[in-house]
Amino acid sequence: MKVLFLGSGTSVGVPVIGCKCGVCRSTDPRNKRLRSAVLVTTDSTTLLIDFGPDLRAQALRYGVSAVDAVLCTHEHLDHIAGFDDLRAFCWERSGRLPIHAGDQCTARLATMYPWAFAPGGYRGYVRADGIRHSGAPFQVGDVAVQPVPVEHGSVETYGYVLRAGSARFGYVPDVKQMPASSLELLRGLDALAMDGLCFPQHPTHLSIDENIALMRELAPARGIVTHTGHRVDYHQLAAYLPRFMQPAYDGLQLTL
Ligand SMILES: [Zn+2]
Ligand SMILES: [Zn+2]
Ligand SMILES: [Zn+2]
């Protein structure tokens, strides 16, 4: 299983429009973060998790031209605003593009983009199959997917654990807390990428220190901090994290 980080930034991206802070003015590519999304590929299956407003730029930058299915974590716009660019993944396929999401997010997508879910659909536009997983595990090709319910403000939000063969990857880009049953699903993975917005406490996201504490408890072989804001310098964060952890950056690829 390969995991490619298409974006590692929080909702406004990094640099932030109009900001003059050191990270936003940095010329280091690792301090430039598109909105968070990952592409997971196996020998036979390609999965996209989240489709934020940078989807077009991400697909062009990393040569993503086809996906078998899309997973969505939640309805915040930094995770779904690139919906219309999913059209490129519909042109070459015979059936509709499966979009797996929680109940609330599936309903939101159908409200925002009704034409994409209408019977028939329009040639050239997104033709999607909205699939509510309701938190139950499902299979896409050779990838077993386990939704992981988490708390992130008032919006129904999921992380995912993806398993192909013996490789297990967890992805939880937006989270503040989670129930014990979700913690169990995330324990001892080969790699776990989790929300680390900033150093100060935040009402709906894990801080860097909260992320580290949770990573120590969940003990993945590799812990990755993602969905990071502009107050966090890549190299300072890399030096701050324990040995088994690293910051995500756009273009980071894991082979599990
Ligand atoms: Zn987000
Ligand atoms: Zn800034
Ligand atoms: Zn969010």
pLDDT above 80 (res 8): yes
Q: Report the separation in Å between the CA atom of 29 and the middle of ligand 2, taken as the mean of its atom positions.
A: 14
Residues 191-205, mean pLDDT to the nearest whole number = 98
pLDDT at 193: 98
Task: Write the CB contacts of 20 (distance below 8 Å, at least 6 apart in sequence).
Answer: none
> What's the CA-to-centroid distance between 120 and ligand 3, angstroms?
32
Q: How confident is the model at residue 218 (pLDDT cuts 50, 70, 90)?
A: very high
Q: Which residues are found with C-beta within 5 Å of the ion, ligand 3?
A: 76, 174
Over residues 16-41, mean pLDDT: 98
Share of the chain above pLDDT 90, in %: 97
Distance (Å) from CA 138 to ligand 1 centroid: 23
Q: How remote is the CA of residue 136 from the centroid of ligand 1, in Å?
A: 22
Report how far apart, in Å, the C-alpha atoms of 56 and of each of 30, 61, 120, 218, 242 are. Answer: 20, 9, 25, 34, 34
pLDDT at 239 over 80: yes
Residue 20 Cα, ligand 2 centroid: separation in angstroms?
Answer: 6
CATH number, span 2-255: 3.60.15.10
Strand pairing report for 143-150 and 157-164? antiparallel
In percent, the amount of the chain with pLDDT more than 70 equals 100
Q: How many other β-carbons are positioned within 10 Å of the β-carbon of residue 60?
A: 12
Q: How far is the CA of 207 from the centre of ligand 1 (A)?
A: 14
- Distance from residue 120's CA to the centre of ligand 1 (Å): 32
End-to-end CA, the chain: 5
Average pLDDT, the chain: 97
User: Rounded CA gap, 15 and 83, in Å?
Assistant: 23
Alpha-carbon span 228 to 14, nearest angstrom:
9
Query: Which ligand has its closest atom nearest to the C-alpha of 152?
Result: 3
The closest alpha carbon to 233, from 55, 1, 6, 29, belongs to 29
Reduce the DSSP state of residue 61 to 3 states and report it.
helix
pTM: 0.98
pLDDT tens track for 91-140: 999 899 999 999 999 999 999 999 999 998 778 999 999 999 999 999 99
The pLDDT assigned to 100 comes to: 98
Ligand 2 centre distance from Cα of residue 27 (Å): 13
Contact 30, 128 (CB under 8 A): no
Expressed in angstroms and rounded, the spacing between residue 86 Cα and the centre of ligand 2 is 30
Compute the Cα dihedral for 58, 50, 176, 186 and give only its sign: negative
Token couple for 90: 């519909």
Ligand nearest 12 Cα, by number?
1
Q: From ligand 1's centre to the CA of 75, what distance in Å?
A: 9
CA of 39 to the centre of ligand 2 (A): 27
> Which amino acid, 229?
G
User: Can you give the pLDDT at residue 121?
Assistant: 76
Cβ contact 49:160 at 8 Å: yes
Measured in angstroms, how far is the CA atom of residue 227 from the centroid of ligand 2?
Answer: 15
What is residue 187's predicted lDDT score, i.e. its pLDDT? 98
